[in-house]
Amino acid sequence: MVAASAPVRHKRGFKVSKRWLPYVLSLPALLTCIGILIPFFTAVAYSLQRYRLSQPWAREWNWGQNYLNFMSDPAFWNTLKVSLSYAFLAVTLELLLGLGIALLLQRRTRFNNTVSIMLLMPLMTAPALAALMWKLMTNPGFGILSYYASLLGIEDMRWASSPATAMFTVVLVDIWVYTPFIMILLLAGLRSLPRQPFEAAELDGVPRWFVFWRITLPMLTPFLLTATLFRVIESIQQFDIIYAMTQGGPGDTLTVFQVEAYLNFFQSTNVGRSAALLMILWAITYFLSNLFIKNWLRLREKARGEA
Amino acid sequence: MYGKEKDLLHSFVNGKISRRGLLKRLAVLGISAPTAGVLANAVATNALAQNGFDWKKHSGTTVKLLLNKHPYADAMIANLENFKALTGMDVQYDVFPEDVYFDKVTAALSSGSSEYDAFMTGAYMTWTYGPAGWVEDLNAWIGDTSKTNPDYNWEDMLEGVRSSCAWNGQPGGALGSEDAKQWCIPWGYEQNNLSYNSEVFSKAGLSVPRNIDELLETAAAAQQAMDGGYGIGVRGSRSWATIHPGFLSGYASYGEKDLNVSADGKLSAAMNTDVSKEYHGKWVKMIQDSGAPDWATHTWYQVGTDLGAGKSAMIYDADILGYFMNGGDNAQAGKLAYAPFSANPESPVPTPNIWIWSLAMSSFSNQKDAAWYFMQWASGYEHALFGATKMDFVNPVRKSVWADEMFRDRLNNSYPGYVEMHDVSAPGAKIHFTAQPLFFDLTTEWAASLQKMVAKEVPVDEGLDQLAQSVDRQLKEAGLG
């Protein structure tokens, strides 16, 4: 048997001149940007066209006509109203609940740590699966939640099937899935706050509600803003929970942007209208993100100035 | 194989004995019914190979299919080895559940992908795919004797079903017109009629309703008689699929239309006539009084499973839901019965709107002739009979299969009344919608309007006027109105 000789490896230096180094290092980021920007500008172009896959002969540039059509289209204004209402309701309630739970679990004990980990479980569930699970639980015929509602004297509760309770039902699912996200973020924030102001307040006998409003909440604001930013961006783009539970119905109760855009593209093959809807959603998201980031920066500057 | 069996099979192939006769005699020779069925199918496939047509022309070629998870696809897959043996071709396929199936088809076709040669589709979808240039006009193959085997017998397909898959591409153009393009080949289809729980009906002393007024009364009475169930199951989700089954079948029985087509080809809404308003009013009342409490989220799946589980007394929906729920491990298996239905008391002949699972050929396929070989086999008589008698390939689209004694006996034994229902309804069964590219937009909005009416968010008259206004605006925007 002949012993295999190990290949001789020569170290080769791959030199990049200092002039090119910044470009080489930023190349992956540049490629990623291109991967985002090409679809973005393609969508912009589509949104400026009358473009329906089922009417290829009618495809033409109509420039802003898709957007102008929205102005006189009640369905669009309903979509805007529903999307903003959904985002506002879901995020507000999640913030309140997330903050409340985080405050309850603030102290580092074995029990609190275990509970905080267990509460993350819904976040591990895919929202579409959570929606299907809730669809079963809220079934008026055999759903466990319908049964509990009947025990409370609420008969004939139709949950997502009724326009009166559909928004409540999908927001409930959103809260179940995403409150843990806010809770864990705020819990990390609460536990990272400096102890001195709280100790000083305790020594001075400051009431607990005053400590909460004047010390805890202001110091927690950057965390609250971060959590709100993430959740607002995500909830205004909500699709899976709503589509899996109601497909946007009953009627037009839950026709949020993503559901409308999805149906416009995949069902109606109306590429132009679908792209225009998504561009408006992008503009809203951009505006809200900027608003939050500016406020976050302002708070940071303020904190530095006071330090 | 022994001599006697061989002789029998040859006699069958040569038409000297019937399929029933063949199976009886094979049984006498100790061959079990399932084995005999498989043998008969294999022999029939062999017979195809001997009809002078060059089935081996594309031997060695592989075609790829995109399939929806469905008993029709299961039947085809179960019989695929016969196709491979007949042609020397190979077949690959991807199967997707219906929830995502049509998204996958749209994505594959709109990207111009040549991955799939043929795929399952509904006839309505071809109103998008055809004008978009994604699917082939199959007339070019059907009429070509060098590419289509002499036993294919295109005329054997039910007329209403066949023509429902053909459209000239002009918005508002009549289905099956002289200049129509055959965008797809019908494979299996669904009529919309009544399937009801005979036990509930007999306990409550109910008779089968014959028109919309009786339907409302019977559904309400059945609901009273049931313990916690509801009277009638119909679809209600915010989708075009809510409009096309029972709802449109009843609507069509009054001669009502979805759209008007003017002499110059312009389209306009037609669903806010007085007759339509009256029909909508009755339909809405029926759901409010006797429909599922969560009707607004009901798709075909909930409609079917509720009937099978004994939660609903009857459905006015796809007949094959009643078929499937009458078997398997469904709680009400064996208790379901069937009846043809016309909503209009003055027109007792049913006019079921139909859903057709069809086969279409991708325009991006690189081997269209080979794909056609598969399509003609899959939609041919031999496979249809195999599927109908050995699998759950109901409803077949071939008249000859419906005439087959074995098939009729099978249905009559296990699904009493099904054959009669089909036979009575078949002459009026077709697609009653106006073919046009905005089909999905307008019918989805129609479903959303129905939901608003049922929820009492808007009165029926006002809701239909608003719907007609919106439909007209959308047609104008698309250059069709």
What are the phi and psi torsion angles at B68 (to 5°)? -90, 145
Residue with tokens 């153009």: B173
CB A281 within 8 A of CB A82: no
Q: Check residue A141 and give its pLDDT.
A: 84
What's the distance, CA A77 to chain centroid? 21
Q: Which residues pair with B398 in a beta bridge?
A: B157
End-to-end CA distance of chain B: 67
Distance CA B123, CA B119 (A): 12
Ordered per-residue pLDDT tens for chain A, 307 residues: 444 444 545 556 677 788 889 899 999 999 999 999 999 999 999 999 999 998 888 999 999 999 999 999 999 999 999 999 999 999 999 999 999 999 999 999 999 999 999 999 999 999 999 999 999 999 988 899 999 999 999 988 999 999 999 999 999 999 999 999 999 999 999 999 999 999 999 999 999 999 999 999 999 999 999 999 999 999 999 999 999 999 999 999 999 999 999 999 999 999 999 999 999 999 999 999 999 999 889 888 887 765 4
Confidence (pLDDT) at A201: 94
Rounded-to-integer distance, Cα B367 and Cα B30, Å: 44
Residues within 8 A of A (CB atoms), B 77-96 only: none
* CB pair distance less than 8 Å for B127 and A158: no
Q: Of B194, B219, B197, B201, which is closest to residue B333 (Cα–Cα)?
A: B197
Q: Identify the closest residue of chain B to A266 by CA–CA distance.
A: B103
Quickly tell me which residue has 């004008």 as its tokens. B131
| pLDDT at site B37 | 64
- Our CA angle for A194, A196, A202, nearest 5°, is 125
Beta bridge partners of A100: none
For residue B422, the one-letter residue type is: H
For residue A12 the two structure tokens come to: 């080769």
Domains of chain B (ranges; CATH) run 3-48 (no CATH), 51-189+356-403 (3.40.190.10), 192-353+432-477 (3.40.190.10)
Best residue of B227, B306, B363, B441 to probe chain A, by most A CBs closer than 10 Å: B441
Contacts (Cβ under 8 Å, ≥6 apart) of B449 = A251, B458, B463, B464, B466, B467
Residues B132-154 have pLDDT tens digits of 999 999 999 999 999 999 999 99
Q: What is the mean pLDDT of residues B235-247?
A: 96
Question: What are residue B344's phi and psi, to 5 degrees?
Answer: -80, 115
C-alpha torsion angle, residues B136, B137, B138, B143 (rounded to 10) = -140
Q: Which residue has the higher pLDDT, B51 or A265?
A: A265
pLDDT in tens, B167-193: 999 999 999 999 999 999 999 999 999
How confident is the model over B382-415, as pLDDT tens digits? Answer: 999 999 999 999 999 999 999 999 999 999 999 9
* Res B305 pLDDT > 60: yes
For the cut 70, the answer to whether the pLDDT of residue B293 exceeds it is yes
Nearest C-alpha of chain B: how many angstroms from A53? 6
Whether B32 shows a pLDDT value over 80: the answer reads no
In the predicted model, is pLDDT for residue B304 greater than 70? yes
Domain spans, chain A = 75-306
E strand spans, B319-365: 336-339, 355-361
CA of B455 vs chain A CAs: smallest distance (Å)? 7
φ and ψ at residue B280, rounded to 5 degrees: -60, -40
B277 touches chain A (CB under 8 A): no
Query: Residue B231: which H helix or E strand, with range?
Result: strand B230-233
Shortest distance between the Cα of A181 and any Cα of chain B, in A, equals 29
Determine the pLDDT at residue B4. Answer: 66
Confidence of residue B1 (pLDDT cuts 50, 70, 90): low
Dist. CA B21–CA B13, nearest whole Å: 12
> What architecture is the A75-306 domain classified under in CATH?
Orthogonal Bundle (1.10)
Average pLDDT over residues B357-366: 98
Q: Could you tell me which of A297, A278, A285 has the C-alpha nearest to residue A230?
A: A285
What DSSP element (H or E) covers A262?
helix A257-262
Instruction: Determine which of A62-66, B41-45, B421-425 has the lowest per-residue pLDDT on average.
Output: B41-45
B238 touches chain A (CB under 8 A): yes
Contact A269 B110 (CB under 8 A): yes
Q: What is the pLDDT of residue A300?
A: 81
Question: What was the pLDDT predicted at B324?
Answer: 96
Residues of B in contact with A251 (CB under 8 A): 238, 448-449, 451-452, 455, 457
B253 pLDDT exceeds 50? Answer: yes
Name residues whose C-beta falls within 8 Å of residue A270's C-beta, 6 or more positions apart in sequence: A51, A52, A264, B441
Could you tell me the two tokens for B77? 């897959």
- Measured at the CA of A95, the angle between CA A92 and CA A97, to 5 degrees, comes to 110
Write down the pLDDT at residue B303.
Answer: 97
* pLDDT tens, position by position, B457-477: 999 999 999 999 999 999 998
pLDDT at B479 over 70: yes
The whole-number pLDDT of residue B8 equals 66
CA-CA-CA-CA dihedral for A107, A108, A109, A113, to nearest 10: 110
Q: Which of B217, B194, B213 has the alpha carbon at shortest distance from B205?
A: B217
Closest to B238 (Cα-Cα) out of A253, A277, A279: A253
The predicted structure's pLDDT at residue A247: 94
> A50 CB contacts (<8 Å, ≥6 apart)?
A58, A59, A60, A61, A62, A65, A66, A272
For residues B249-267, give the mean pLDDT. Answer: 97
Q: What is the structure's pLDDT at A13?
A: 66
Regarding beta strands B62-68 and B118-122, do their DSSP bridges make them parallel or antiparallel, or are they unpaired?
parallel
Q: Give which of B451, B51, B63, B416 is closest to B240, Cα–Cα.
A: B451
SS (H, E, C) A188-213: HHHHHCCCHHHHHHHHCCCCHHHHHH
Q: What angle do CA B125, B129, B130 make, to 5 degrees?
A: 110
CA atoms within a 13 Å half-sphere pointing along the CA-CB vector of B260: 12
Q: How far apart are CA B253 and CA B260, in angstroms?
A: 17
With tokens 């102001």, the residue in question is: A197
Q: How confident is the model at residue B312 (pLDDT cuts 50, 70, 90)?
A: very high
* Cα distances (Å, whole numbers) of residue B136 to A163, A269, B55: 43, 19, 22
C-alpha span between A222 and A202 (Å, rounded): 24
Tokens 């014959």 correspond to what residue?
B210
Distance from CA of B133 to the nearest CA of A (A): 8
Segment B63-79, tens digit of pLDDT: 999 999 999 999 999 99
Beta strands in A10-74 (DSSP E): 49-50, 60-61
Give the mean model confidence (pLDDT) for residues B213-238.
Answer: 96
Chain mean pLDDT for chain B: 93
Stretch B331-336: mean pLDDT, rounded? 96
* Phi, psi angle pair for B297, to nearest 5°: -115, 5
